[in-house]
Structure 1
Amino acid sequence: MSQNILLYNGSVIVHDEHDRVQVLDNCDVLISNGFIEQVGKDISPAKNTDIVDCTDKIISPGFVDTHHHLWQTQLKGHGLDNTWLDYFSDDLLQSFNYSPDDSYWGQLAGCLEALDAGTTFVLDHCHGCRTPEHADAAITAFADSGIRGVFAYAETFLNLAKWDSQSVIPRPTSVSDSYIQHLEHLAQKGSFADGRVTIGVAFDNYHLPRHEVEKLFHRAIKAGVKLITTHCGNFGTSAPQVLDRYSLFPKAEDDYTIVLSHGNYLDKTDLTMLSQRQIPLSCTPATESQGYCHFLTSSSLMQAARNALLLARLQKTLELKVQGKKPVKFDETTYDVFNKATIQGARAVRMQDQIGSIQTGKRADILVFTRTSSLSFGTAARQNPVAAIVGYSEPRDIEAVLVGGVFRKRAGTLLPILRNGKTVGLDSIMSEFADPRDIKDGFFHGNGYGSFIGTQLHYADNVYAGSWGVCPVQLSTSDTSNAHLGEAINEPDDQMSLVRLLTYANEIDIQGIAVTTSTWMPDKIDYESVVGVLGGYKKVVDNLNANVPSHASYPSYKYMLDRIHKGHPVYGRKSLNMTLSDGAKALTKAADAASTDDPLTVSIWGGSAILAESLQHVSRTRNEAAVDSFVEKLRVYAISDQDDTGVWIRLRYPQLMYVTSLHGFSEYTDATWNGISGEEYRHFDQGGPDSSIVSNDWLEKNIRLGPLGSHYLNWSFIMEGDTPAFLPLVQNGLGDVNKPDFGSWGGRYTLLDHSGQSKVYADTTDYVVGKNGKSFTSKFATIWRWREDYQFDFAARMKWSVNSNYSENNHQPVAIVNGSCGPASLKLKYKPGQSIVLDASDSWDPDGDELKYDWFHYREPGGAYGRGLEGFDPSLKMKPILTTQSPNVNITNLTEDGSIVKLETAKKLNDTLHIILALRDATEQPLATYRRVILEAR
């Protein structure tokens, strides 16, 4: 959706009427309804304008790509060493193996790769659509991506009738009536995606009879086609000469243009003809250097610009070398190739009045470069912004991309696209490229091949908040792996925790559930009770899956059943004198498959004997380096020690990240996990949390629903004491299993020893204002402060379990801050004493519910000043009210609904700040999704 946007105080690259480039420092660009309304200094925006601070940033026209084969994105990573002839047999003919779905995902991925690299317009020579359905899918992807361009529709080169291991049989070569009719149908529609995408023609078969060629041109132009593009090279027939002989070059009065591509085999006659006719020629220097292979490089036009510049200079240098001379001056400059990628590219496609430069009245196809992502670009940009962009820029230096005044990339991250009214993120798109294929033999299986080569994108399989919206994240991670070491289910709260865990099985990659002993049941295990709970899950898993996207589905009953393992039915360290248990074997295998980037979280609800077994086994069978590597891949969350192996583990493996409550053995009253529900039974923090929503009455109405809910028992002491050991893994944007001190639904824990000799995390406190208006400084509050959110979220999932009708259920909203979403923290820089704007106005709810925005400074994870320990700063003029917010940080609404806020910090502040957006839907039991913004002082 377009809106008023002010790009404020940047270095703006503009062109004059002679295409000369100027850089206007401290300049603003005002965008209104998709067009550039004003360029100048100190522009006063209208109310509700999205103000983007571009201080120390470069604002550039978007790049114009005049030749691309977007459908070939799946082929990246294949054929990199192919010659010109290899390309035709191994690569170009692969369109035969594409389904319409392959065409959609290839086209979409190609468009997004281009956007990520700053291309806002692409002329797509699409010669990979062997049926009208393939073309329709490709056009839909073009429109969905958000890029601007011309879909130059071609009939497939050598459209094959058959291709298998014995034969390749082409169809008779001609311009088919079915293709022309479909082309006419598309062209007569005018445009797609509100005018962003128009239909053109791509044609190369000039060896056909004259009447075939003329028929296509005349009918296409009559139907409304404005642009025709064609390859010209060593194909036998000279395209320029045929076009001239058939009188098909556009005349001054004609309303269409022709763009030729490549041309590195054109002779002087051809080049003179093109110059006289003023026909543009699009070069692709990397592919032309190899002969032909479009997918051997990334989609970066600046990479192409560098190649063009260097190859032209090399050619001149070699010519002079033969003469015994050296170059004194080069013909092409960085400004020349920058113009070829902007205003001259726009002129080539006859859109110079709409795009290609930053000028009042033109469409707002704009890039914002940051100087802080890479040293080379940042250094060069301070000397010469244009030279920096041409010579040093990479996709990661592009902080924002706007097409028609709509952000398609923001905060360095591509934004999700809409497909059929639903948000699709990069992780979903990459999942379509996951299956291996045998390309050369012509067997495409699954939904894709290859990867985005040369981009700075990171992908994840994380499901964000369980909604239909799957968002890109800032870190490359995978679904959170979890090995649950459950004590024997000899207490109601353990079985209750297992019920909750299963409702999050689509967000937590459960590698195994091991049944073990504990201090409460030291000599037996209860495998059957776990299987019984899974029996309830079996009956509801289809209902659960009806409420989540297919790529983030709940695992099958059999999958879960196969992952239940037994420990030894003996107490604690006695198991260390026995053969390795089934549970310990499974844990060892899961840890070996993990990595430091994708660690295995061991959530311990009972005794930790199985973990002790695994560690001892690894220590006895592997060298020291291998043991260290094994330990480094584990994250242990234990609610408390419930046998004698916890201390044993921590003493022997001090570099194992181990989170637990430390207290006298069996003195569980002091443990942080009581905050889940224990204030009435344990007599702490009463009046702070809402005790009514952990009562048996509330649970009866909201949780004990259906076959799975029937296993959620009544409690007598405390509800779900073990649940905090897995809540940090919930993908809601709050928790980070690598950062227990950040805080999550499972509580907050800090390092015991800052010397680096130990990685044990133990209890700490949060300052929270309770339901009764009183303040609490409490370790229990690190959990109960989130109670409404974790209880309402659980209740929603239990309702999913009994109702497969998506529209009748509630689902979590999607939080987007400054164009970024996902479970990983958003990291930004701030300058103490200056303000920073946080914008969540792009957030949305899958059920169409109204959204409530709650921004707050989570003081405790930050530094001392950020927590406000040094007192009140009068410069902020904050009212002295009861608040959990630091007196050194002020958050004020810039919009009535609070979706956009301004953050002000004290001048003396020099600490890391954690700002949390709690985004909730306005329902009776609001569901929450979070966005943690980590601000680091610069």
Structure 2
Amino acid sequence: MRSRDVAQATSLRYLAATIPASRRPTPLFNALFVALALIGLASIALADSSTLSASDQPRVIVTSDGEIDDECSLVRFLLYANEFVVEGIITSSSQYHAHGHNWAGDDWAQPYLEAYAKVYPNLVKHDPRYPKPELLQSRTLLGNVKSEGEMDEVTPGSQRIVEVLLDSPDTRPVWLQAWGGTNTIARALKTIEEQHPEKMAEVAKKIRFYFIWEQDETYQTYIRPNWGKFDIPTIISDQFLAFAYENQRQAVPQEVQHYFSASWMNQHLRDRGPLVALYKAHDDGRFRSEGDSPAFLHVIPNGLRSEESPDWGGWGGRFVKVRSNTWLDPVAEPGYEYPAGRWYTGSAWGRQRVKQEIPNDEVLTAYLRPQWRWIDAIQNDFAARADWCVKEFKDANHSPVVSIDGALSREVTPGEAVKLSASATDPDGDRLTFRWWQYSEADSAKATVTIAGIDSANDASFVVPDEPGKQVHIILEVTDNGTPSLVGYQRVVCNIKGN
């Protein structure tokens, strides 16, 4: 086959392997699917793979105030657009940015979309699921931007959110992300309340909120009072500080700071085409900020399953439930009481700690660990996708595809020896190493388990602790030896049965 056919066939096998076992088609269909890929009938197979994969992709709507770190986050987001159904990219205001106040412009996102269009022909060589530039353009709209918290006006952006939420045949969750204020989201929900009150409960079942702080008051003044009764899962992050501005120098360990350094950034992001060229690092190439990226990193289907519950943890951080279906950052301070109102620059624990400017602040470092613990893998994955903008499939690296033998969530019994077995393939034929580890922060069980065969693909095991009703989370990391080195994951959740 031609090299492009090989790349497409490899991508098809990659897509098939990433579909959860419980949701895969029949064995006969799988056999036909792989056969089509192997003989290079890409035009037929791609149509099937797109249909199959779309049902498993998270639906996301981004709202952003266009701050410089939002611009950096948008570059990364577009490189991950193959992982989502991008339902909207909406410009909104915030307490920091609005018309007449540090405004980036109503069309600030356009240069990035135009650059995406230029690299799109190369990106689809690596994954045919990348959305067409015309589709992204049609879904990039202006929301409520005239002032901080303005939600009186119905805007194209707010109406796009309404349209997606009222799409009755599609019941998949919609992740509404606020990189800036929540006012455009609030306007959309108010429109639904005013025009379709009978559909509020149905709509609420779809919604998942991920906010980077509360950057205006509309969540507290409108969304929570009027929609709180529906218990919409809501994450409000302060851990993003590990990705924001100079905080990584103050609170991120030295070995992790390497991935923000000018030398690392220049090595992996320079000369990677017109989209990555727009990435606004500091003049020397050093990382500036991507405070909003955790909002979409949280829902990338990388095998960590963080989207299933905010306290499970993953690339977008880990959170604890502080009130009905509202999840904030874990604060270890004894006797700490979370604020009843906004979680933002004026109240969030991490922000208040940063202001104290404590040298070598190990407490702050521990607080941000749920986010920075993944930064090496996150940055290497970003670097690989930057390569996809300019390199052929055979010259770039792609993540290992990992599959667990048996159920991902299991009922286990105290004292039982749980066998852990998996397989993995690498799209590039790289050598793979396996590592099983207990994600104790995500556990409700208190015990530390000893995993025998931690580096074995199919001969690892542990003994279930005597803690009925609790959970143990086991992560499998499979790392390749490509450049940059990439990681594939799976998580096994063990629910301990009662006696």
TM-score w.r.t. the length of structure 2 is 0.79
Name 1:827's counterpart in structure 2.
409
Task: Give distance in 2, aligned partners of 1:789 and 1:650.
Answer: 35
Cα deviations by residue, 1:578-616 (Å, 9 ceiling, x for unpaired):
3x1110000110111267851110111111110010111
Please report how far the alpha carbon of residue 573 of structure 1 lies from its aligned counterpart in structure 2 after TM superposition. Answer: 3.4
Instruction: Name the aligned partner's letter for residue 494 of structure 2.
Output: L
Alignment of 1:890 onto 2:453: no
Name 1:858's counterpart in structure 2.
439
Contact 2:281 2:287 in 1 (8 A): no
Please report how far the alpha carbon of residue 684 of structure 1 lies from its aligned counterpart in structure 2 after TM superposition. Answer: 2.1
Name 2:172's counterpart in structure 1.
598
Alignment of 1:709 onto 2:301: no
2:61 aligned residue (454, 466, 483): 483
Please report how far the alpha carbon of residue 421 of structure 1 lies from its aligned counterpart in structure 2 after TM superposition. Answer: 5.3
Name 1:751's counterpart in structure 2.
321
- Counterparts of 1:738-817 in structure 2, within 5 Å, are 738-753=308-323, 758-764=324-330, 778-803=366-391, 805-817=392-404
Task: Give distance in 1, aligned partners of 2:47 and 2:457.
Answer: 34
Q: The residue matched to 2:251 in structure 1 has which SS? A: coil
When residues 589 and 781 of structure 1 are mapped into structure 2, their CA distance, relative to the original with a 3 A threshold, is same
Cα deviations by residue, 1:511-569 (Å, 9 ceiling, x for unpaired):
11011112222225623320001111111001110012x3xx21111111111110233
- Counterparts of 1:546-557 in structure 2, within 5 Å, are 546-548=125-127, 550=128, 553-557=129-133
Q: The residue matched to 1:479 in structure 2 has which SS? A: coil
Instruction: Name the aligned partner's letter for residue 912 of structure 1.
Output: Q
Name 1:626's counterpart in structure 2.
199
- Counterparts of 1:391-406 in structure 2, within 5 Å, are none
Contact 2:414 2:466 in 1 (8 A): yes
Please report how far the alpha carbon of residue 777 of structure 1 lies from its aligned counterpart in structure 2 after TM superposition. Answer: 7.3
Task: Give distance in 1, aligned partners of 2:211 and 2:40.
Answer: 37
Percent identity of paired positions between Structure 1 and Structure 2: 26
Please report how far the alpha carbon of residue 843 of structure 1 lies from its aligned counterpart in structure 2 after TM superposition. Answer: 1.2
Cα deviations by residue, 1:889-920 (Å, 9 ceiling, x for unpaired):
111118x7454311222345552111111111
Q: The residue matched to 2:301 in structure 1 has which SS? A: coil
Task: Give distance in 2, aligned partners of 1:731 and 1:676.
Answer: 20
Name 2:347's counterpart in structure 1.
none
Alignment of 1:614 onto 2:222: no
Instruction: Name the aligned partner's letter for residue 809 of structure 1.
Output: A
When residues 606 and 843 of structure 1 are mapped into structure 2, their CA distance, relative to the original with a 3 A threshold, is same
Cα deviations by residue, 1:128-182 (Å, 9 ceiling, x for unpaired):
xxxxxxxxxxxxx79x849xxxxxxxxxxxxxxxxxxxxxxxxxxxxxxxxxxxx
Q: The residue matched to 1:643 in structure 2 has which SS? A: coil
Q: The residue matched to 1:722 in structure 2 has which SS? A: coil
Alignment of 1:541 onto 2:120: yes
Instruction: Name the aligned partner's letter for residue 585 of structure 1.
Output: Q
Task: Give distance in 2, aligned partners of 1:634 and 1:735.
Answer: 18
- Counterparts of 1:634-653 in structure 2, within 5 Å, are 634-648=207-221, 649-653=223-227
Higher share in strand = 1
Task: Give distance in 1, aligned partners of 2:46 and 2:120.
Answer: 25
Please report how far the alpha carbon of residue 677 of structure 1 lies from its aligned counterpart in structure 2 after TM superposition. Answer: 5.5
Task: Give distance in 2, aligned partners of 1:568 and 1:801.
Answer: 33
When residues 708 and 432 of structure 1 are mapped into structure 2, their CA distance, relative to the original with a 3 A threshold, is closer
Task: Give distance in 1, aligned partners of 2:194 and 2:25.
Answer: 49
Contact 1:916 1:932 in 2 (8 A): yes
Q: State the structure with bigger RCO (CA 8 A, min sep 6), 1 or 2.
A: 2
When residues 116 and 760 of structure 1 are mapped into structure 2, their CA distance, relative to the original with a 3 A threshold, is closer
When residues 422 and 695 of structure 1 are mapped into structure 2, their CA distance, relative to the original with a 3 A threshold, is farther
Name 1:313's counterpart in structure 2.
none
Cα deviations by residue, 1:41-79 (Å, 9 ceiling, x for unpaired):
xxxxxxxxxxxxxxxxxxxxxxxxxxxxxxxxxxxxxxx
When residues 717 and 479 of structure 1 are mapped into structure 2, their CA distance, relative to the original with a 3 A threshold, is closer
Please report how far the alpha carbon of residue 711 of structure 1 lies from its aligned counterpart in structure 2 after TM superposition. Answer: 0.8
Contact 1:485 1:513 in 2 (8 A): yes
Task: Give distance in 1, aligned partners of 2:204 and 2:365.
Answer: 34
1:726 aligned residue (290, 293, 296): 296
Task: Give distance in 1, aligned partners of 2:31 and 2:56.
Answer: 24
When residues 658 and 701 of structure 1 are mapped into structure 2, their CA distance, relative to the original with a 3 A threshold, is same
Name 1:248's counterpart in structure 2.
none
Please report how far the alpha carbon of residue 752 of structure 1 lies from its aligned counterpart in structure 2 after TM superposition. Answer: 1.1
Instruction: Name the aligned partner's letter for residue 530 of structure 1.
Output: A
Please report how far the alpha carbon of residue 697 of structure 1 lies from its aligned counterpart in structure 2 after TM superposition. Answer: 3.1
Please report how far the alpha carbon of residue 617 of structure 1 lies from its aligned counterpart in structure 2 after TM superposition. Answer: 1.2
Task: Give distance in 1, aligned partners of 2:291 and 2:80.
Answer: 17
1:508 aligned residue (73, 79, 84): 84
Q: The residue matched to 1:637 in structure 2 has which SS? A: strand
When residues 681 and 530 of structure 1 are mapped into structure 2, their CA distance, relative to the original with a 3 A threshold, is same
Please report how far the alpha carbon of residue 867 of structure 1 lies from its aligned counterpart in structure 2 after TM superposition. Answer: 3.2
Paired residues in the alignment total: 434
Contact 2:248 2:257 in 1 (8 A): no
Q: The residue matched to 2:425 in structure 1 has which SS? A: coil
1:697 aligned residue (254, 260, 263): 263
Instruction: Name the aligned partner's letter for residue 239 of structure 2.
Output: T
Q: Relative to structure 2, which stretch is displaced further, 607-616 or 701-710?
A: 701-710
Q: The residue matched to 1:852 in structure 2 has which SS? A: strand
Rg: which structure is higher?
1
Please report how far the alpha carbon of residue 433 of structure 1 lies from its aligned counterpart in structure 2 after TM superposition. Answer: 11
Alignment of 1:568 onto 2:128: no
Name 1:386's counterpart in structure 2.
none
Instruction: Name the aligned partner's letter for residue 743 of structure 1.
Output: G
Contact 1:747 1:783 in 2 (8 A): yes
- Counterparts of 1:867-878 in structure 2, within 5 Å, are 867-868=446-447
Task: Give distance in 1, aligned partners of 2:473 and 2:81.
Answer: 28
Please report how far the alpha carbon of residue 849 of structure 1 lies from its aligned counterpart in structure 2 after TM superposition. Answer: 0.7
Name 1:836's counterpart in structure 2.
418
Please report how far the alpha carbon of residue 719 of structure 1 lies from its aligned counterpart in structure 2 after TM superposition. Answer: 1.8
Cα RMSD between the aligned structures? 3.2
Structure 2's unaligned 5+ residue stretches are: 1-20, 333-359
Task: Give distance in 1, aligned partners of 2:363 and 2:463.
Answer: 24
Cα deviations by residue, 1:71-128 (Å, 9 ceiling, x for unpaired):
xxxxxxxxxxxxxxxxxxxxxxxxxxxxxxxxxxxxxxxxx9xx999x9xxxxxxxxx
Alignment of 1:916 onto 2:475: yes
Please report how far the alpha carbon of residue 572 of structure 1 lies from its aligned counterpart in structure 2 after TM superposition. Answer: 3.4
Please report how far the alpha carbon of residue 650 of structure 1 lies from its aligned counterpart in structure 2 after TM superposition. Answer: 2.4
Higher share in helix = 2
Q: The residue matched to 2:267 in structure 1 has which SS? A: helix
Name 1:83's counterpart in structure 2.
none
1:673 aligned residue (236, 240, 252): 240
Contact 1:856 1:891 in 2 (8 A): yes
Contact 1:635 1:738 in 2 (8 A): no
Name 1:529's counterpart in structure 2.
108
When residues 525 and 594 of structure 1 are mapped into structure 2, their CA distance, relative to the original with a 3 A threshold, is farther
When residues 737 and 420 of structure 1 are mapped into structure 2, their CA distance, relative to the original with a 3 A threshold, is closer
Name 1:431's counterpart in structure 2.
48
Instruction: Name the aligned partner's letter for residue 452 of structure 2.
Output: T
Please report how far the alpha carbon of residue 807 of structure 1 lies from its aligned counterpart in structure 2 after TM superposition. Answer: 0.9
Contact 2:106 2:142 in 1 (8 A): yes
Q: The residue matched to 2:474 in structure 1 has which SS? A: strand
Q: The residue matched to 1:506 in structure 2 has which SS? A: helix
Instruction: Name the aligned partner's letter for residue 318 of structure 2.
Output: R
Task: Give distance in 2, aligned partners of 1:699 and 1:643.
Answer: 33
When residues 738 and 615 of structure 1 are mapped into structure 2, their CA distance, relative to the original with a 3 A threshold, is farther
Cα deviations by residue, 1:206-237 (Å, 9 ceiling, x for unpaired):
xxxxxxxxxxxxxxxxxxxxxxxxxxxxxxxx
Name 1:846's counterpart in structure 2.
427
When residues 679 and 909 of structure 1 are mapped into structure 2, their CA distance, relative to the original with a 3 A threshold, is farther
Please report how far the alpha carbon of residue 787 of structure 1 lies from its aligned counterpart in structure 2 after TM superposition. Answer: 0.7
Q: The residue matched to 1:936 in structure 2 has which SS? A: strand
Q: The residue matched to 1:752 in structure 2 has which SS? A: strand
